[in-house]
Structure 1
């Protein structure tokens, strides 16, 4: 009976290596504190966290769980929505003082765009005023391309 109880307990308690991936900023700010609590709660589990601001192949890279921000392409993987993130267009006051005003999304095509490698290198789409079903797409040629949210924010704050 003791052996059966011991085996049942071992099967119910998580153990082994759990491999996760997430975007850098979300992983550092949101996921990392949760993983600290998880590791404390389940001492038989080791965690490998890969923070990457690019898509990865979960199967090829041996990832168990991925936190993704954005729309997922059709996939055979199981996805569970856990929240919403809103993207914004930002510029520093110093940049805005030196360049033409931005009154509508189409005006962005005349500006120095900092773009992220996986969030639209040469176009962005915006919801139309009045809630029309077809979004407004703005084409642009980026002046600066970065691969992390923090690099894009730093560029906007520095006046680019």
Structure 2
């Protein structure tokens, strides 16, 4: 019997309060437990327990030994758990919720790599631009873009995203470009959302500025608005992960660059009770590593 096991027996006896109950909990005989306690005291040359026919209590040094032994056992169990976890692999069903356009443009091409790296994980992806109640609707992980409200969700920023105001080169040549956000009322605006009058957010001298705009076209899909802007139908106010490639190809040009709002975050969020899940943690790590290698037009990696 090694010293660690003697410690475990001693701690179990103190916790149980009697040799008989401790022996039952450990699946050992009472005689064997008593023998190991006497061997422990003999090796330490101290008396740890005061035993009578009806009670058991620790001596002063026995109490100190109990407390230190408990810490040692906890540390060993923690080490064992960490090593076992490193050898374990993520498995099971992972339900993920993400915004529609981000999901189709950026998650979709990357997910085969995640599934290839974790063959025991099944993934169910729901794309929706509304804010999904992860806990109430039974999701394990969500992708959120922009400012996060106060909540109990665990959040990890994986990238940053900028909003830009843009149009086609042809539209700018025909109609001109606004010099300040308030002038957008004179132009055709393409609205990303659910209403035909929305607020576009800018910044002036570091302070937020909201401008109300209206337009004939409103869509709840950013790619529809991007394509309309590329076709010369007006100005759009969209995230760089939607329009970045079109800007790089010269299909869109930006305006009001000096009025851009601060970059927003792209976050992986999940309920606190799911943070022990290997699949959840693997997906969060995958998100960060994927967008740490962001290409032009995609969200910038978080610092």
Q: TM-score, normalised by structure 1?
A: 0.80
Structure 1: give runs of 5+ residues left out of the alignment: 1-7
More strand by proportion, 1 or 2?
2
Deviations 1:97-144 (A, max 9, x none): 33253111111122221111179952112111xxx3422221222322
1:36-63 per-position Cα deviation (integer Å, ceiling 9, x unaligned): 1222222221001112233222123221
- Compare the two structures and name the one with the higher helix fraction: 2
1:138 aligns to what? 211
Distance in 1 between the 2:218 and 2:119 partners?
A: 41
Aligned equivalent of 1:52: 128
Gaps of 5+ in 2: 1-83, 234-303
Q: Is the 8 A contact 1:118 1:147 kept in 2?
A: yes
Structure 1 stretches of 4+ moved >4 Å: 118-121
Distance 1:26 1:113, change over 3 A: same
2:201–2:210 Cα contact (<8 Å) kept: yes
Q: Give the aligned CA root-mean-square deviation in angstroms.
A: 2.5
Q: 1:10-159 to 2 correspondence within 5 Å?
A: 12-117=88-193, 121-128=197-204, 132-159=205-232
Report which of the two structures shows the higher radius of gyration computed on alpha carbons: 2
Aligned length: 149
TM-score, scaled relative to structure 2 = 0.45
Per-residue CA deviations over 1:21-42 (Å, capped at 9, x if unaligned) read 2223322333234421222222
